[in-house]
Structure 1
Amino acid sequence: MISGYLARKLALLHHPSLFLSLSAFANISELKRVHAHIIISGLANDDLTTARLLAFAAISGDFHYAQTLFDQVEHPTLFMYNSMIRGFSQSFDTLESIHLYIRMLLDRISPDNYTFPFLFQSCSNKAFFFEGQQLHDHAIKFGIDYDVFVLNNLIIRMYSNCRELDYARRLFEERNSIVNVISWTTMVTGYSNCGDIDVALQFFDRMPCRNVVSWTAMIVGYVQMEKYDEARQLFDEMSERNVDS
């Protein structure tokens, strides 16, 4: 007999919306209590239940528990691999993210447009720039490099954060037909962070549309260069501001 509490948790855990599903637990301790009830009730072999529990554990930062759940699955799904890669990318355990990606390929599971952004996040420093370039080649191989979500994370997480702005700019220009306001803002931020405020301004002036983040990125660039008059002028021109600006 399943208790009312467990039934409610399972119903929410199995919700079609992943966002709502991951709100099933207040914290990792509650997840572990519910998981214990699931095991006692003989429901632990359900792949959907395991996948959602694993995703919550990985996102919550309990990688040991997530790894334990993952290792109990004979044939992990793409969703499970993505959940694990996402978790380790947020912990900046780059090597573990890449090892999981290689294992996924060996299991003959093809990555999707959710896989690569997490991997690019893991490679967002110079030490793993070579690995990041190889992953970029893989994105091209799998035909995912024209996905704007992948593109933005490739520019944001890798080339800009690694200060490899020539690569970022070339990629931006090659994919100009799909770039969006996030892409433009990333280029502004990348060049302003490197102290090349003139090029940052060129991108800012060319933007087909701007939001408050775009304006703020340019203001930050001016402030970093101690060009306070220019920063104040932009601030005064903003039609909308937030606490960051």
Structure 2
Amino acid sequence: MKYMLLVCGDDTADSSGMAPVEPWVEELGVERGVRLHGHRLRLPADAVTVRVRDGEVLRTDGPFAETKEYVAGYDILECATMEEAIEAAAKHPVASVGAMEVRAFWEDEDAEGEIRRLDDELTEALRERDIDRRLACYTADTEVFHPMSGLQEQGIDALRKAQEWFLSTVTGPVRREVLAFRLRVDESVAFSHGLVRIRGTFTSGEPLDSTARVTTGYRAVGDRWLIAHEHASVPFDAGIAGDEEDRS
């Protein structure tokens, strides 16, 4: 389960003897994998408070409330229990001079399930040779590197041309089989690594049977997950049509 750790500083406290934060980040993030990410925030004096009253936007320079305690930064933790998150918070150096507020994320969304269904959609769209259905899985500014052309395609229009070219080289349905799939999901981005086997028949009558290692980056867009970056690599003798010098 994910937890938001609000790092609350106290501008009246003496922090001269506070331990550095870097060892905590190293232990929780690198060694234990509990800390997913985090960042410091600018001081409250640099904040802007925004309210809307009767359709008018009201801007106030400074924090929402005058208080000696303020949110100095945040960390996103992934822990099995609240107790584990509290233990991690207690080790943060700021806990010795300020306060740490630990709050659990709402668990009402199945981001991993949505992304896996998105991958299933790629499989079905390729089998049906439905380019529009397949492109609906990508962001408008997507960047895709595929071995068919050997070039990086940027933007949905360029990706469409690449897909049209690929389908022009094969006949009949194209079978896509995911042999392995590892997924890591964060709040607004996700990455997957997998082995994908593509089988079909070239227009020349020769069989297509290629296994690619695919790395995919996803971005949450509105209420959907879409592919923002995709890189596929295959061995030179994988059975992809085209000149050898164009593949990488």
For Structure 1 versus Structure 2, the TM-score category normalised by the shorter chain is: under 0.3
- Which structure exhibits the higher relative contact order, with contacts defined as CA atoms closer than 8 Å and separated by 6 or more residues? 2
Higher strand fraction (1 or 2)? 2
State the TM-score, normalizing by the size of structure 2. 0.25
Higher-Rg structure is: 2
Higher helix fraction (1 or 2)? 1
